[in-house]
Structure 1
Amino acid sequence: MRKVSVPVDMASEQKVILGVLSMRQLIYIVVGGALIYAYVPFLFNLMAGLPMTVQIIICAVSALPVVVIVIPLGFIKKKNYHMFLDYYLFIKFRAKTQHGKWRKGSRQKKWMEEL
């Protein structure tokens, strides 16, 4: 059987938005931006009596937690596992709920038959 090397990395995500962003990354940016857009104007209007620079600084600091969550989940890749951080965490959290008795071979052991 002949083996042919493929010149394109078939395992990575396709960058569909101008060759820079994948759809998954775009969804993270849109959801993070929508969250920030939802609460920052409310917070800005809430502090109407303060000077403008203080309002802007407080709004920027309040938007920081969303940015700190969205950027790592969407853009940081775990090199050892060849997957992005969101999928890696999804697998780790899902693995804690999987329990079972694993055995080798096709025959059951005596202690398993007694149960």
Structure 2
Amino acid sequence: MRKETVPIDMSSEQKTILGFISIRQLIYLIIGGAILYTYIPIVFNIFPHFIVGGIAALISAIPTLVFIFIFGFWKKTKLHLNFDHYFLIKLNYGKQIGIWRKGSRSINWKVTN
């Protein structure tokens, strides 16, 4: 069988939007922008002074921006996974833990009467 060297990394996600952002990252940016667009004016209008309202709006936007950056752009380099995919794997890890036994016979303490 003939082997060919591919000059492109085929395992990474495609950067389709302007060559530097993927569709998954664009979705995170759109959803995060929509969330910021809904609650930043509310936070800004709570405070009567313009500067205090602006500072409060910036401080309240930081957790959302950190969430967007971590889940949209951060990678676990040792595992070659995006952080959102890694987080989903970690969430489902608890469901995979169970009592495993070898063979088809049941153990006495597991049998109910």
TM range (shorter): 0.7 to 0.9
Query: Structure 1: which 5+ residue stretches go unaligned?
Result: none
Match in the other structure for 2:111: none
State the alpha-carbon separation in 2 of the partners of residues 31 and 86 from structure 1.
15
Name 2:97's counterpart in structure 1: 99
1:1-115 correspondence to structure 2 within 5 Å: 1-47=1-47, 49-50=48-49, 52-100=50-98, 101=100, 103=102, 108=103, 112-115=104-107
Counterparts of 2:101 and 2:8 in 1: how far apart (Å)?
Answer: 38
Q: TM-score, normalised by structure 1?
A: 0.84
Name the aligned partner's letter for residue 19 of structure 1: G
Distance 1:28 1:8 in 2: 25
Deviation (angstroms), 1:102: 6.2
> By how many angstroms is 1:55 displaced?
1.2
Q: Is the 8 A contact 2:44 2:53 kept in 1?
A: yes
CA RMSD, Structure 1 to Structure 2 (Å): 1.5
TM-score by length of 2: 0.85
Letter in 2 for 1:74: G
Paired positions, count: 106
* Matching residue's letter, 1:71: F
User: Any idea what SS the aligned residue of 1:24 has?
Assistant: helix
Cα shift readout 1:8-58 (whole Å, capped 9, x = no counterpart):
1110000111001100000111111111110111121222x22x1111111
The alpha-carbon deviation at position 75 of structure 1 amounts to 0.5
